Amino acid sequence: MTLKHEAAYINGRWQSTNNTIAVDNPATQEVIGRVPNLDESHIQQATDHAHTAWQHWRELPTTERGDYLMAWYHAIMAHQDELAALMTEEQGKPLAEAKGEIAYGASFVKWFAEEARRANGNTIPAMSRTQQITVIKQPVGVCAAITPWNFPNSMITRKAAAALAAGCTIIVKPASATPFSALALAQLAEDVGIPKGVFNVVTGKASMIAKVVTTDARVRKISFTGSTDVGRQLMQSAATNIQRISLELGGNAPFIVFDDADIDKAVAGAVAAKFRNNGQTCVCVNRFYVHRSVLSSFESKLVAAVKALQVGNGIESGVQLGPLINNEAVQTYQQHIDDALEHGGNLLYGNQAADGNFVQPTVITNVSPKARVCREETFAPLAAIVPFDSETEVLDYANESEYGLAGYFYSESVRRCWRVAMALEVGMVGINEGLISNATAPFGGIKASGLGREGAHDGLEEYLETKYLCFNFAD
């Protein structure tokens, strides 16, 4: 049984077309396969089938849906090595990191396998003596997920597993750069007997697919991870049929190192939070704010840690940073470096010419808060440091962003930890911690970083409707 399919997966069937899209390996820039460029009629068929399948899937006991998901989880973990190899080939991240993502992605399937049975409602004392109020939860219906290339497995599982647990069916549109990881998940869903039409993977032009699913009133929810601009357009389109929408959009995470921080821990957290997935993570640090009194110690330790990072093709052992996804990403990285230097920044390490999609991790200090790297998502391995003098000043810097996904800070003072955690305008805060992603925690942002939460019990609620039943037991 192969896990690499060059066909879409609709209603339990592998769908091919003559018109195809090429998929590249970002490390070698060679074509590694092709997937169908589906047309509108295929997406409509996928919706028809997902709607039909929903009639049965929604009726299953939650424990039975949980059993399917648990079997899917075990199948994913049993194929961790093959799935990781496929991911490295299409996305570029190092094999060890890809294996980590498979385990992270599978952890959502396991979490929602268990959480399915906790789609609890409640009862509320009524204001009338002859009434009883009961609240039940029901699946929202057919869902569509549009997912990104940076986490080709886990951004699917954390949407799809929640949807399936709640009793919804789903049509997944993976990024055109990384469709094979999604199609491999479909193969494993089929292997464990998830009924046809429940989990579908469609490939093709994102704008066309988004148009079809947002204009079909049978699709009751859209979940998207990607850029704020596209999220905004999807939200407008979803308004036509008043579809529910979850959006996990751009970030611009601040990372603050206070004068009372443990600098070694802060540097370890900084490397994890900045260089995970080569900086191509929505919750990656974009801007470091370091108190002037600990600046030189932080800078020298960070540069030493960054110099030790090995860049290369992700299939080679020891590599920690793979290529960027494409040339456009390389250009953004270079533009942000040039702009930071033009804004008075001092280069501490990096900024060598790119070799294909490979770039050097770079550290620049004394960056002006006005530089692009402080205002826009870089999505690349550039660490830009802005010195600060007071807590008030740094909170102003941190919060003067249209984004509000994640924020991090290091301090050994309990009082400051509470104060700053409460004041940061973000959905997630790492306090003396650089890795915050976890299936058990509600992942999501505020402001232009999006709406809704994924993971945790909140992630299940996103796929459930609340229905209130008013019983009258008067004689």
| 155/161 with CB nearer ligand SIN | 155
Q: Which stretch binds ligand SIN (CB under 6 A): 80-88, 110-118, 173-181, 277-285?
A: 277-285
Alpha helices in 257-404 (DSSP H): 263-275, 295-307, 327-342, 372-375, 391-399
Least distance from C-beta 53 to ligand SIN, angstroms?
28
Contacting ligand SIN (CB under 6 A), which of 73, 108, 151, 333?
151
Interface map 350-369 toward ligand SIN (x if CB under 6 A): --------------------
d(CA 144, CA 47): 9
Least distance from C-beta 248 to ligand SIN, angstroms?
6
Q: Which stretch binds ligand SIN (CB under 6 A): 88-96, 150-158, 211-219, 445-453?
A: 150-158
3-state secondary structure of 467: strand
137, 119 contact by CB (below 8 A): yes
Residues within window 163-202 making contact with ligand SIN, judged by CB under 6 A? none
DSSP symbol at 283: T
| 320/437 with CB nearer ligand SIN | 437
Least distance from C-beta 251 to ligand SIN, angstroms?
8
Least distance from C-beta 454 to ligand SIN, angstroms?
8
Q: Which stretch binds ligand SIN (CB under 6 A): 111-119, 147-155, 198-206, 311-319?
A: 147-155
d(CA 342, CA 368): 9
Least distance from C-beta 315 to ligand SIN, angstroms?
22
| 88/150 with CB nearer ligand SIN | 150
| 282/429 with CB nearer ligand SIN | 282
- Which residue number is nearest to ligand SIN in terms of Cβ? 437
Assess 88 for contact with ligand SIN (CB under 6 A): no
| 88/280 with CB nearer ligand SIN | 280
Contacting ligand SIN (CB under 6 A), which of 198, 283, 294, 382?
283
d(CA 21, CA 363): 37
Least distance from C-beta 280 to ligand SIN, angstroms?
8
Least distance from C-beta 259 to ligand SIN, angstroms?
29
| 36/407 with CB nearer ligand SIN | 407
Displacement of CA 197 from its chain's centroid (Å) = 24
Contacting ligand SIN (CB under 6 A), which of 23, 282, 330, 426?
282
State how far the alpha carbon of 239 is from the alpha carbons of 143, 233, 385, in Å: 15, 10, 41
d(CA 207, CA 196): 26
Retrieve residue 287's tokens: 């801007």
35, 67 contact by CB (below 8 A): no
Q: What is the DSSP string of 18-34?
A: SSEEEEE-TTT--EEEE
Interface map 215-254 toward ligand SIN (x if CB under 6 A): ----------x----------------------x------
Count, residues near ligand SIN per rule CB under 6 A: 10
d(CA 98, CA 84): 5
DSSP symbol at 293: G
Beta strands per DSSP E along 317-431: 346-349, 362-365, 382-388, 403-404, 406-410, 428-431
Active-site residue numbers? 248, 282
Contacting ligand SIN (CB under 6 A), which of 187, 281, 320, 411?
281
Alpha helices in 22-167 (DSSP H): 40-57, 62-78, 80-91, 95-115, 154-166
Q: Which stretch binds ligand SIN (CB under 6 A): 22-30, 116-124, 255-263, 275-283?
A: 275-283
Residue 217 identity (one-letter amino acid)? A
Least distance from C-beta 380 to ligand SIN, angstroms?
13
d(CA 49, CA 216): 13
Contacting ligand SIN (CB under 6 A), which of 437, 456, 461, 462?
437
Q: What is the DSSP string of 193-262?
A: TPPTTSEEE--S-HHHHHHHHHH-TTEEEEEEES-HHHHHHHHHHHTTTT-EEEEE----EEEEE-TTS-
The CA-to-CA distance between both ends of the chain, in Å, stands at 64
For ligand SIN, the binding residues (CB under 6 A) are: 150-151, 155, 225, 248, 281-283, 437, 443
